[in-house]
Structure 1
Amino acid sequence: MTIAVLGPKGTFSHEIAETVCDRDEEIIFFPTIREVFAAVTERSSEYPDLRGIVPVENSGAGGVFETLECLLKEDCTVRAEYYLPIRYVFAVAKGKSADMQTQALAKVYAHPQAHAQCSAFLAGLGNAAVVHTTSNAKSAEETLNDVSELTAALTTRSAAGIYGLEIIRENIQNYDTNTTRFLEIRRAAPEKPGVSGSSADSGDCCGCGTKCSIVVMPKGNYPGLLYRILSVFAGREINLTRIESRPSGDMMGKYVFFIDYEFGSELDVDGNKKLLDWLRTITEVKELGYYPEAKIGGV
């Protein structure tokens, strides 16, 4: 089996993949999250048994837009979740630290999530321009290669080491409890008889895990719509662990809702099917997966 993650080497996705991969698994890197999804869903002959690991939300900066967009549009299923404490470093190319005393910092390379998660630190850097990159490791690479002026990176400790950067400051994130949740994705398998919605490659179905993820796509817009959706869960005493609204992309004012809920003693397989069938009377529903609930701070 092979794991696809956001690259290059040194990203937090790489770090979590190394934590959960089997001894004989290969980790391959893609320049964007969208390309990780494409690799998983297309299932090429080169990698017939591919799983992806992608960041989906951060405790301070919220949802990762690219991942949510792909979950909505791509034919995939969620098989597991993982949590990783996130610690950022501020680094420059080796030999440049002394220049920080005499030169104005021109640019800081940062992934948009790093920018949001380290906004307080960035605010104290004066007029340095923040240049967004596709990953934290790419930020380190750009800092190494940009020799035209004094530049720095918000990056990972791993990436700073890989690209030979000198760490100026550590733990520059806004919150000491900064944590990112990652999802393991697989290509969606054909629907199993008697089970509503998508299931996992190995034939897993609802009831095999303790958490369910769905996307709710309302058919209209009228007073009490969200109340009706949430009452389906509240009336059955089902705990929601997450709900997030995102623009649907279809038109201004139209939203979809990403919902995670507990699948346990209060909800069995038949009960879950009835719940989703009832939801579908008032809204469209895309089932993303059923998987074990991970402990925050562990995998």
Structure 2
Amino acid sequence: MEVGYLGPKNSFTYKAASYYFDDSSLQPYSSITSCLNALTHMQVDYVVVPIENSLEGSVHTSIDGLFHHKDIKVYKEIILPIKQNLLVNDLTIVPEKILSHPQAIAQSQHFLETCYPNVLIEQVPSTTFAAEYVAGHPDESVGAIASKEAAEEYGLEILSENIQDNRFNQTRFWLLGKQPFKIDDSNIQKLSLFITLPKNTPGILHKVLSAFAWREIDLSKIESRPLKTELGEYYFIIDVIIQDNIPLVEHALEEITLLGVTYQHLGCYSIVIKE
């Protein structure tokens, strides 16, 4: 079995993928798009990608990519605490430049503005790439925002730990595939949908939400994304909490279909929260 993930090794996505798969199964990819393409072309059996961060919101590349890969399903959700650290080669170094992935930089914005207001902040493809660069350039006064695992992997020192703006910083990751993954059906907790509304229908979004509301079906998320066709055209991603309500959910989907709404069923899945 081959499993793709947003790499390189010791990225946060790697940590999420490692929850279900050992190293021999894991194949890193440089972007979310390349992960999804590898899955589409059957180069891997599954992929793990980030879908949402509690501080920075949805990972739009993942969401938009899934919208256009309609045969890919969600089989698991893994929630990881995200703890960022400032890594250097030597604790005596005062960084003149700090590297990291844009999400990690955004998650540590208060720390950077307070402690390093005049330091150059440079975006790179991943937190692990940043750590690898720092390790390979010991003669430069440069730091990286990355995980403790990356520090261990590349022999770096932790100059400041837990620098994220919120100690409850978490990221949701999805295990995606085109073929069934082993699922404990008794532990299904969520259903995700992409919904596209008919044009020029007043109040249609209200009617869609009402189909779930009057049945007392809990929605944990609703978000709009541009269809990228013309200005003002959107699709919606909706997360439905699954309890003992699957027949009610099925009836709600029948109702919105009668309203002219189309939906893409991303899958029912369980959630694992790692400490």
- Taking structure 2 as the reference length, the TM-score comes to 0.89
What is the rounded CA distance, in whole Å, between the counterparts of 2:200 and 2:119 in structure 1? 44
What is the rounded CA distance, in whole Å, between the counterparts of 2:142 and 2:26 in structure 1? 30
State which drifts further: 137-146 or 73-82.
Answer: 137-146
What is the rounded CA distance, in whole Å, between the counterparts of 1:219 and 1:130 in structure 2? 44
What is the rounded CA distance, in whole Å, between the counterparts of 1:166 and 1:159 in structure 2? 10
CA-to-partner distance for each residue in 1:33-72, whole Å, 9 max, x for gaps?
Answer: 111111122113xx4xx11111111111111121112111
* Identity across matched positions, percent: 31
SS, match of residue 201 in structure 1: coil
Q: Which amino acid letter does the alignment assign opposite residue 251 of structure 1?
A: E
Root-mean-square deviation over aligned CA pairs:
2.4
Q: Aligned-pair distance for 1:116?
A: 1.8
Report 1:210-221 matches (<5 A). 210-221=189-200
What is the rounded CA distance, in whole Å, between the counterparts of 2:205 and 2:111 in structure 1? 37
Partner of 1:4: 4
Q: Aligned-pair distance for 1:208?
A: 8.2
Equivalenced residues, count? 271
Question: Would you say the 8 A contact 2:13–2:50 is kept in 1?
Answer: yes
Counterpart of 2:104 (choices 114, 135, 140) is 114
Are 1:61 and 2:61 counterparts?
no
Q: Aligned-pair distance for 1:114?
A: 0.7
Partner of 2:126: 135
Q: Which amino acid letter does the alignment assign opposite residue 159 of structure 2?
A: I
Partner of 1:236: 215
Are 1:160 and 2:123 counterparts?
no
Partner of 1:194: none
Report 1:73-222 matches (<5 A). 73-74=68-69, 75-92=71-88, 94-95=89-90, 97-100=91-94, 105-124=95-114, 125-146=116-137, 149-187=140-178, 200-201=179-180, 209-222=188-201
What is the rounded CA distance, in whole Å, between the counterparts of 1:203 and 1:42 in structure 2? 22
Report 1:12-51 matches (<5 A). 12-21=12-21, 26-44=25-43, 47=44, 50-51=45-46
What is the rounded CA distance, in whole Å, between the counterparts of 1:17 and 1:153 in structure 2? 23
Structure 2: state its 5+ residue gaps: none
> CA distance change for structure 1 residues 108 and 221 in 2, over 3 Å: closer, same or farther?
farther
Q: Which amino acid letter does the alignment assign opposite residue 248 of structure 1?
A: L
What is the rounded CA distance, in whole Å, between the counterparts of 2:85 and 2:200 in structure 1? 45
SS, match of residue 20 in structure 1: coil
What is the rounded CA distance, in whole Å, between the counterparts of 1:170 and 1:278 in structure 2? 51
What is the rounded CA distance, in whole Å, between the counterparts of 2:182 and 2:101 in structure 1? 36
Structure 1: state its 5+ residue gaps: 188-199
